[in-house]
């Protein structure tokens, strides 16, 4: 597939909040395709600073994008947190808790699987700093444990060189 480069454009970085990836907004003009931009922002790790900080960051992005529509922009919003389009804080809370549980359990399983006793972590993740990491890890393991442990074992086995030679 051939890369299509824009003929002109301007990008703007929107800093949404601590541990939230910035949102990049802008427009790029492509030959015969008009002006376009596709972007995303990961808000999950804003939850390291509590629910209120997370939902403010997440909803600020949605509100900003939705506010572009009356100005004549065609904006398509895809929200894995399911806050949009109904603006459901209940769905957003359920989804961030579930995603945090999955990531905490995966990070914990990989950390445990790579622990070689040296005291140096084999795995690093922002999720380890979550104030409710232990609870989230336990809930994630309850929901996804079997699959995560198998995946962690496979990752470790694949990443470590064979001791038997080749």
DSSP letter (8 states) at residue 82? S
Residue-range domain boundaries for the chain: 7-87, 88-160
pTM score, whole prediction:
0.81
Mean pLDDT of successive 10-residue stretches along the chain, which has 166 residues: 84 95 90 80 96 97 95 92 97 96 92 80 88 94 84 76 51
* Model pLDDT, residue 117: 77
* Model pLDDT, residue 166: 47
DSSP per-residue codes, 5-57: --SEEEEEEE--STTSPPEEEEEEEETTTEEE-------GGGGGG-HHHHHHH
CA distances (Å), origin 128, targets 19, 38, 51, 137: 13, 31, 17, 10
Neighbouring CB atoms inside 10 A of 28's CB total 18
* Model pLDDT, residue 116: 76
Of the candidates 83, 72, 133, 137, the residue with the CA atom closest to the CA atom of residue 105: 137
* Model pLDDT, residue 83: 97
* Model pLDDT, residue 161: 58
């Amino acid at each position: 597939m051939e890369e299509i480069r824009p003929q002109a454009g301007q990008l703007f970085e929107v800093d949404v909040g601590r541990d939230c990836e910035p949102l990049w907004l802008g427009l790029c003009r492509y030959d015969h395709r008009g002006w376009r931009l596709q972007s995303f922002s990961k808000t999950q790790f804003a939850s390291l600073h509590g629910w209120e900080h997370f939902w403010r960051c997440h909803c600020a992005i949605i509100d900003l994008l939705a506010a572009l529509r009356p100005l004549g922009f065609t904006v398509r919003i895809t929200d894995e947190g399911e806050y949009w389009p109904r603006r459901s804080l209940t769905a957003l809370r359920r989804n961030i808790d579930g995603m945090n549980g999955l990531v905490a359990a995966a990070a914990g399983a990989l950390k445990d699987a790579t622990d070689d006793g040296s005291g140096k972590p084999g795995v690093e993740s922002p999720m380890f700093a979550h104030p409710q990491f232990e609870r989230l890890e336990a809930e994630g393991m309850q929901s996804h444990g079997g699959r995560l442990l198998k995946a962690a074992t496979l990752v470790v086995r694949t990443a470590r060189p064979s001791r038997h030679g080749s």
